[in-house]
Amino acid sequence: MSEYSDTMSMGTSVIDFYMASTLCITSPKNPYDLDDLPITSLDDKRVAIGWDTRTWSRFHHIWLRDHCRCPTCLHPKTMQRLLNTFEIPPDIRPIMVESSLKGLRVVWPAHEHSEHGEHESVYSWEWLKENSYDPTIEPEDKGTKKILWNARISQSPPTISYNDVLKPGEEGEQALCKWLTNIETFGFSFITDVPPNAASTESLVRKISFIRETHYGGFWEFTSNLAKGDTAYTNIALGAHTDNTYFTDPCGLQLFHLLEHSASESSSSTTYTSTTYPNTKFPNLYASSASPTSNDTQITSSTNSPNASSSSSVFTPSSLSSPATQGADATVSSSSYPASSAPNSSLGGQTLLIDGFYVASILRSLYPSVYRLLSEIRIPAHAAGERDSAGIFSTGEGYTVLSHNASGELIQVRWNNDDRSVLSSISPSLVEEFYTALRTFHSLLTTPDSEFLIQLTPGTAVIVDNHRVLHGRTAFVGNRRMCGAYIGKDEWKAKLRGLREKYEVRINGH
């Protein structure tokens, strides 16, 4: 299975994609009729199901009995197993199996632990195909495709309206489903028409799930007053990073809403742009160009190639007649906000978004040895700014920058150079190679191709998948007030999964 989706049509914009493809539509539950039911057979160990002349699935008898879906074996409300797995005879064999419109019908023999003699199980065809393990069957509807993106996403970023999400009943739930699908697809989404106040923003966050409380609080507001011991509470630039690298379980989502950014009497007239951003922090790291290893290929700042080895889908609309402009000029407008709080671009404070999966795909294609190192070397992290109240957070030996699941799919980018701790467990033979790898990764993060810079306005919030999208900001002057919150990964994924089950969502038009 490829890590990402097949390439999206070059002429299809992101707007067209997410508006046309994330509708909550009820799908037909039974695609079969009496004339074309799957055929079944069994032997001493397994039941075989023939979906067509070339596709078969095999299920062990004990597996089928353990996974009976009837209300006696599986609680219909809690979906928790009621059957005692350890009372199933290890050599259990069905008395009878047959194909029916409802699914595979299996009759099990009575045994010493049976309370009611023989037992009948019915497994829907859809459920069996979805859970086939011998072999696994890739579904026709593969679910949400991850769309990798670069600075050109500024032409049509994924966006949904606060008013739609806050609608009561089914209509609001379907808008919420679409919003979360945007996040799963692109790793972020804008929300327009948000009333520019903390209470309304918090109500928006809680539509997804309960808020994850940390040493910063639950739902938070902050300015550049160092109320918390973190550089986010200053006005200096923040390089591209993910949050909570010092936690064993970093937050899943982070929402930001700019409530106000206005000039103060002491504000400078300096204009902060994307060209002044990179050298405001870590000057030595930014000044040195990346030196790839001898077996890797040199990359230039104009690179926008997807990972050649994983058939990635990358947003590069062919409708653009000229190279994509920097995101610094992009503005997502609000329907209304107080004139006094409308941000002035000369004050700085632009928001930076980078698709970590897009950068990783280039890294794996052009610098495979660097990709391997960042997938193997653990980097410790810490947060000590609130040591007197919350203590010192630390990940011990740390985690890799790039994390993968058992099948090798990239599932998380974890990177914050500010919060990196002392690297004392690295092999001496890898030290120089490791720093070269960091420089290479950093050089890809800071190319104009990767950086989507945008001047947020009151009334437009942004939410990011903290396991995929890195964020940052340019330095600023004046009074800048933000609010937002964290939500756990398990929580937002659970909400999306529940909505899809409820409305049997069709993804990508299938």
- Provide the pLDDT confidence category of residue 143 given band limits of 50, 70 and 90: low
**Residues 76-84, mean pLDDT to the nearest whole number:** 93
Q: Per mean pLDDT, which of 34-43, 124-133, 139-148 is the most reliable?
A: 124-133
Amino acid letter for position 40: T
pLDDT at 339: 36
* In the predicted structure, residue 293 carries a pLDDT above the cut 80: no
pLDDT at residue 130 is higher than 50: yes
**pLDDT for residue 455 is more than 60:** yes
Q: What is the per-residue pLDDT for 112? A: 73
Cα–Cα distance between 217 and 388 in angstroms, integer? 15
Higher-pLDDT residue of 77 and 139 is 77
Tokens encoding 338: 């107080």
Q: Which of 65-69, 87-91, 108-112, 184-188 has the lowest mean pLDDT?
A: 108-112
Q: How far apart are CA 463 and CA 485, in angstroms?
A: 9
Note whether 381 and 394 are within 8 A (CB). Answer: yes
Question: Which residues make beta-bridge pairs with 192?
Answer: 161
Residue 77: both structure tokens together: 């409300």
Coil, strand, or helix at residue 314?
Answer: strand
The helix or strand, by DSSP H or E, that contains position 171, with its residue range, turns out to be helix 169-186
Mean pLDDT of all residues in 455-479: 93
Residue pair 37/50 in contact (Cβ under 8 Å)? The answer is: no
Segment 186-207 shows an average pLDDT of 97
Top-confidence residue, 215 or 279: 215
Q: What is the pLDDT of residue 509?
A: 35
Evaluate if residue 310 carries a pLDDT over 50. no
pLDDT of residue 309: 36
Percent of the chain with pLDDT over 90: 55
The predicted pLDDT at position 479 comes to 87
Report pLDDT for 11. Answer: 33
Least reliable range by pLDDT among 83-87, 313-317, 475-479: 313-317
pLDDT at 25: 39
* Residue 265: per-residue pLDDT: 59
Query: Of 223-237, 275-289, 293-307, where does mean pLDDT reach its minimum?
Result: 275-289
Ranges for all domains in the chain classified under CATH 3.60.130.10: 151-263+345-504
Tell me the average pLDDT of the chain: 79
What average pLDDT does range 245-251 have in this prediction?
Answer: 89
Helix axis angle, 356-366 to 368-376, nearest 10° = 120
**How far apart are the C-alpha atoms of 291 and 268, rounded to whole Å?**
38
Using CA atoms, how far apart are residues 115 and 117, in angstroms rounded to an integer? Answer: 6
Asked if the model's pLDDT at residue 372 lies above 80, the reply is yes
pLDDT band (50, 70, 90) for residue 191:
very high
Judging by beta carbons within 10 Å of its beta carbon (0-12, 13-18, 19+), is residue 85 exposed, middle or buried?
exposed
Q: Which residues contact 321 (CB under 8 A, 6 or more apart)?
A: none
Say whether pLDDT at 484 is over 70: yes
- Identify which has the larger pLDDT, 449 or 338: 449
For residue 156, the model assigns a pLDDT of 94
Residue matched to tokens 């299920």: 59
**pTM, entire model:** 0.76
Cβ proximity of 143 and 124 under 8 Å: no
Q: How far apart are CA 57 and CA 249, in angstroms?
A: 37
At 183, which helix (H) or strand (E)? helix 169-186
What is the CATH architecture of 39-131? Answer: 2-Layer Sandwich (3.30)
Residue 390 is predicted with a pLDDT of 63
Architecture per CATH, domain 151-263+345-504, reads as: 4-Layer Sandwich (3.60)
Asked whether the predicted pLDDT for residue 252 surpasses 70, the reply is yes
Q: At what angle do helices 169-186 and 489-503 cross, to 10 degrees?
A: 130
Omega within 30 of 0 (cis) for the link into 135: yes
Please report the pLDDT score of residue 266 as a whole number.
Answer: 57
Q: Cβ distance 504 to 27 under 8 Å? A: yes
pLDDT at 18: 39
Q: Which residue has the higher pLDDT, 90 or 476?
A: 90
The b/e string for 418-442 (b: 16+ C-beta within 10 A; e otherwise) is: ebbbeeeeeeeeeeebbebbbbbbb
- pLDDT tens per residue, range 495-504: 999 999 888 7
pLDDT tens digits for range 219-239: 988 776 555 555 656 778 788
Determine the pLDDT at residue 133. Answer: 96
Report the SS3 class of residue 351. Answer: strand
The SS3 call for residue 343 is coil
Is residue 336's pLDDT more than 60?
Answer: no
Paired tokens of 419? 């919060």
First to last CA, the chain: 19
> At a CB cut-off of 8 Å and minimum separation 6, what does 284 contact?
none
Residues of the chain with CATH 3.30.2020.30: 39-131
Q: Per residue in 25-50, pLDDT tens?
A: 334 455 677 778 999 999 999 999 99
Weakest-pLDDT range from 35-49, 118-132, 217-231, 447-461: 217-231
Least confident of 271-275, 346-350, 413-417: 271-275
Strands 159-161 and 188-192: parallel
DSSP secondary structure letters along 433-486? HHHHHHHHHHHHHTSTTT-EEE---TT-EEEEETTTEEEEE--B-SEEEEEEEE
The encoded tokens of residue 477 equal: 């002057």
Q: Report how far residue 42's alpha carbon sits from residue 65's, in angstroms, rounded to the nearest whole number.
A: 14
